Each structure stands twice: as C-alpha cells, then as structure tokens.
A = this chain, B = another copy of it.
Amino acid sequence: MRAYLAGPDVFLPDAPAQAARKSAICARHGIEALPPLNEDVASLAAMGEAQAWRSIFAKDLAMMERADLVLANLTPFRGASADAGTLVELGWFLGRGRPIFAYSNSAAPFAARSAALLAAWPDPLPGLAVGGFGLPDNLMIPGAVEAGGGGGIVLPEGDADEPFDSLRVFERCVALAARQLGLAAAP
C-alpha cells in the first residue's frame, strides 16, 4: 500500500529529513510512503515562477494518483485551519473514494483557535458567532476523514499541543491506518 504524505511538512527547513523519518515509520507499519518533496530546487528556480508552480502541482498530482491512501498532516499552519494546499489534497482523496487518515498536533478545538485569530486579524464578517461543533477544524475536514474511513482526526492524547514537527501523533495515525487496512507490521 502506498500512502501520499500530505501536509505542510514540505515547508520545514529539514523537509527531506522529516520525510525520511515519516517514511521509516510508515515502513514499520507495512506502508510505502510517497512524500511530495521539491527535490530539484535549482531547476525549479531556473524555469521561472510561472512554470515552477505548475511543475510542482503536476508532480504532486501525479504522486497522489499513484497513492492508495492519504496520510494527512492537518496541524494548523499559518492560521486557524490546516494548510490550504493539504485541504485541496484531502478533498481530492475524498472525491476519488480512497482511504483518508489524518492527524493534528494541535489539541485545541477549532473555535478556540478561530477566536484567537479573529482577535489579531481583520474579520470579513465581524460579529458573526464562531461555532465549530467542538471539532478540531472546519466540519468539512473531520467529515472528509470520517467518510474516508479514518474515523476522527488523530489528536494529542492530552490537552497540550505537540511541537509542530513532532511525529508522536503521526505514528498513532499510521498505526490506525495499518490496522484499519489490515496491513502487517514489518517483522
């Protein structure tokens, strides 16, 4: 089984090392990881912006096509919600009907993060209640994970956030995926 590793991990300064750590965890659970890295930075820079972003998009989409499932990092990124690109990818897997498993290193509910954001950032709809149904993000996101067979978004076990690049919650998410998909752990 091949899993696309969606998430803002690609923006980490040590993205290749993080991808290697995630891939090793996946391998221990019988999953082949497909991490969407941008390895060829020099050639991307040479081709100019208009071609570079289309090249990254096409490369990521081709990798998603090859994947049997997605393991999505929904840790909030530069805002109250998960990374914007990751959300497009999550929806793609939902549209394809392929299994979706996801985690977040944030223990706080979406409503709390949204309220904090709106205290610091102009709200296009001031005065509107911030609900959130007690969920970890906009309802379309846990909805996609539940519909994709991943149950809920896997969260930190306590009330405290994990560090942004911690892999403790990721490992629980991978174990869940392997169990749900009937995969054997590596011996």
Contacts and interface: CB of A to CB of B under 8 A. Distances in A.
A57 B124 contact: no
A165 B75 CA distance: 29
A94 B88 contact: yes
Interface stretch (A25-33, A112-120, A167-175, A176-184): A112-120
B91 A95 contact: yes
A144 B88 contact: yes
Contact of A121 (B121, B134, B135, B147): B121
B133 A52 contact: yes
A52 B146 CA distance: 15
Q: How many copies does the complex hold?
A: 2
Mostly, the A contact residues are helix
A118 B78 contact: yes
Interface residues on A, range: 35 or more
Contacts of A57: 139-140, 143, 147
26 contacts: A49-B133, A53-B133, A56-B139, A75-B124, A76-B124, A78-B114, A79-B79, A82-B84, A83-B138, A84-B84, A84-B87, A84-B141, A87-B87, A87-B88, A88-B90, A89-B91, A89-B140, A91-B91, A91-B93, A91-B94, A91-B95, A92-B92, A92-B95, A120-B120, A121-B121, A124-B164
